[in-house]
Each structure stands twice: as structure tokens, then as C-alpha cells.
Amino acid sequence: MIALGCDHGGYELMQEVKAYLDSKGLEYKDFGCHSTEAVDYPVYARKVGNAVLDGSCDKGILICGTGIGISIAANKMPGIRAALCSDCFSAEATRLHNDANILAMGGRVVGPGLAVKIVETFLNTPFSGEERHQRRIRLIEEL
Ligand code: RB5
């Protein structure tokens, strides 16, 4: 189960992401927003972060205009590792190395074709599980 959240700046791209997930039969919970009317992105970051932390969703996808504000907000939550990605290399690396549990993107930054490839890469790449990466992830929480 994938938790989805966006603000007005990410709303249109999120519709493309949902169409992709539908086409693959992937289940999601849509925490809004539900239109291009202006809203506050921290609200949606929090809803998606909570869904990932309480285990009701395995991963999350957050989109605001730049992806910056919504990822900053999500990363305030202990246990959330939200990775802002505009390319597939980063989406793959953040799963392999950081075990990122939320993908953030900018609706005004990436086009729909690239965004879908980024989502696909993020969802299909497992965490490497390598000891050095596990140690570094632990240190994110401990330091
Ligand atoms: C909203 O206009 C915009 O500030 C927001 O979508 C995002 O880009 C913030 O980081």
C-alpha cells in the first residue's frame, strides 16, 4: 500500500502518478489534496508520514511545487526518510543506500513521463541491506 499526498503545486502531477499506479494495479491511499486550490503542504506531509510510520502504508509519495517544502516537512518525523528526486539514478540510489520510505518530487520540476519512471524505479528497487548503509541509517536517528 502506497500513501499519496500533495499540495496544489503537485496536484496535477499526482494525477499522472495515480494513473500509473492504477495501470499497474498498485494500491494506494490518497491523503489529498484533491484540487488545485491552495493548501498547506506540511499537512499532507504529516498525513503520509503517519501512514508510513504506523505501518498502514509501506511507502509514500509526496509532491509539492518543488518537492522541497513537502520533503523538509516529512523529514522532521523520526523514522521518515523522504528523498527528493528529479532523476532515476537518485531514486535507485536512495532505495539502495538510504532505504528511503518516501519519494518526494516537484510538480513544477519534473514532467509526467520522467516522474512515472522515477516512481517505477523507487518502488521496484529494494534496500541493499548492506551493513554500512544500515549503520548510516541508524546514525541518522541516533546522532
Ligand atoms: C506552493 O506555491 C509552493 O510553495 C509549494 O508547492 C512548494 O513548492 C514548497 O516547497
What's the confidence (pLDDT) of residue 10?
A: 98
Q: What distance in angstroms lies between residue 33's CA and the mean position of ligand 1's atoms? A: 13
pLDDT tens digits, one per residue of 59-76: 999 999 999 999 999 999
Catalytic residues: 64, 97
Q: What integer pLDDT is reported at residue 92 of this predicted model?
A: 98
What pLDDT shows up at residue 57? 98
pLDDT digits (tens, 9 = 90+) for 93-106: 999 999 999 999 99
Q: What is the pLDDT of residue 123?
A: 98
36 Cα to the center of ligand 1, angstroms: 12
What average pLDDT does the chain have?
98
Average pLDDT over residues 77-85: 98
- The pLDDT value recorded for residue 73 is 98
CA distance 126 to 100: 10
> What pLDDT is recorded for position 86?
98
User: Are residues 22 and 14 in contact, defined by beta-carbon separation less than 8 angstroms?
Assistant: no
Percentage of residues of the chain with pLDDT beyond 90: 100
Query: Which residues make beta-bridge pairs with 82?
Result: 102
Q: Give ligand 1 pocket residues (Cβ under 6 A).
A: 7, 9, 41, 64-66, 68-69
Look at residue 110 in the predicted model and tell me its pLDDT.
Answer: 98
The sign of the CA dihedral 51, 122, 74, 108 is negative
Rounded CA gap, 72 and 77, in Å? 10
